[in-house]
Homo-oligomer: A and B are copies of this chain.
Amino acid sequence: MHVRDFSEDELLGLIRPHLPRAEGIEVPSGDDCAVIGLAADSVAISTDMLVEGSHYRPEWSTGYDVGWRAAMQNAADAAAMGARPVSFVAALSVPGDRDVEWLVEFARGMGQAARRFGAGVDGGDLTRGPATAGVTVVGDLSGRPPVLRSGARPGDRLIHCGVLGWSAAGLHFLTSGAVAPECASVLPADGERSPAPNGRAPDGPDAVVAVYKRPNPPVDLALAACAAGRIRALMDVSDGLVRDARRMAEASNVGIDIDPAALKCDVDGLVCAGVRRELAKGMVLGGGEDHGFLATTPNSVPEGWRQIGSVRELDPGDERESGGFVTYGGRNVPKGTGWDHFRAERV
């Protein structure tokens, strides 16, 4: 059965059972808006677009994978402000000849990801068209000030939690045909934690493919560090470590030095998983969509995080285009290194 064989109401009836409600829900999906109660009178909001063929390929990612990823990458954006993801809404366009099971799986994946945080999927819009999903997260700051990427100060430690380069390595294995897209053996069962612990080497190609298909940002670690007041600047790493570090450096008007020794285990881990060494470093430094967290702190390293560099003053002679904002092993990293969706260049 294809989606065009059902009315909109019938399709909503099929997917609604898979969608949890926000804990603070005041008006659930079904009216003109959902209404969500927050712990305080400000809201963090972010939106992401997933385009089939660009952000995922249907032959590699199931509907469940896509729904999961749509929720997770938005959850990471909320947590990157120190906000708890409390609710998602999804604007979804689906081709008429898509099997309706794909849509149900999308809802199930998104719902399971939302449940991870006690969040809801509290609204959406469903229409026929090319497969794209615009997903928006509502984040609750609970009265705490948001943690900005502009807060880094000279002398801070540069810290990270999550994985680096696993998603890029997973994409590489799928592209090269080295891994069957199912790799079902290592994908976590519903509700289980996907294999993305900090600082651990992947067990093999399947483990990094699993992160590509179902990223699992360590939202709890980010929120715990924020709640403890230990974090001065914070962002999620979605476009590659060096590109996002540069954004933090520019926003904070500081220099950031990344320590190669701290990333050696990440590079070695990808090599152990089967990535050629000459590719592994680029994946760790430039690979996107791992959705770990990059932060700075003047204090000790919070549990579950690790130090990967330090923050310094900008030299007066540094020019923005020269790359003085970010160094790796003492060498400037040129601006533009990393992923750009429009030019689709990868350096």
Set of chain B residues within 8 Å of A7, measured between Cβ atoms = 336, 340, 342-343
Taken together, the copies of this chain in the complex come to 2
Given A39-B41, A41-B39, A51-B93, check contact A32 B80 (CB 8 Å): yes
Q: Cα distance A237–B136 when bound, in Å?
A: 24
A47 B341 Cβ-Cβ under 8 A = no
Q: Is A92's CB within 8 Å of the partner chain B?
A: yes
Q: Is A274's CB within 8 Å of the partner chain B?
A: no
Q: Contact partner of A35 among B37, B146, B236, CB < 8 A?
A: B146
Nearest-CB residue, chain B, relative to A236: B32
A136 B91 Cβ-Cβ under 8 A = yes
Which bucket holds chain A's interface residue count? 35 or more
Set of chain B residues within 8 Å of A37, measured between Cβ atoms = 41-42
Q: Contact partner of A49 among B46, B91, B236, B336, CB < 8 A?
A: B91
Set of chain B residues within 8 Å of A313, measured between Cβ atoms = none
Set of chain B residues within 8 Å of A191, measured between Cβ atoms = none
- Segment touching B, from A81-89, A203-211, A303-311: A81-89
Min CB gap A278→B, angstroms: 26
Q: Cα distance A271–B122 when bound, in Å?
A: 41
Q: Contact partner of A45 among B55, B77, B123, B148, CB < 8 A?
A: B123
Q: Is A135's CB within 8 Å of the partner chain B?
A: yes
A229-247 to B contact mask, C-beta < 8 Å, 1/0: 0000011100000000000
B343 A33 Cβ-Cβ under 8 A = no
Set of chain B residues within 8 Å of A54, measured between Cβ atoms = 127-129
Given A49-B92, A91-B48, check contact A78 B129 (CB 8 Å): no
Given A125-B49, A136-B136, check contact A141 B42 (CB 8 Å): no
Set of chain B residues within 8 Å of A344, measured between Cβ atoms = 128
Q: Is A34's CB within 8 Å of the partner chain B?
A: yes
Min CB gap A286→B, angstroms: 15
Q: Cα distance A172–B148 when bound, in Å?
A: 49
17 chain-A/chain-B pairs, Cβ below 8 angstroms: A4-B342, A6-B343, A24-B42, A26-B146, A27-B148, A33-B45, A33-B78, A33-B80, A35-B146, A38-B41, A38-B42, A38-B43, A46-B123, A48-B125, A49-B92, A54-B129, A91-B91
- A-side interface residues toward B, CB under 8 Å? 3-4, 6-9, 11, 24, 26-27, 30-49, 51-55, 76-78, 80-81, 83, 87, 89-93, 96, 122-130, 132-139, 141, 146, 148-150, 234-236, 251, 336, 340-344
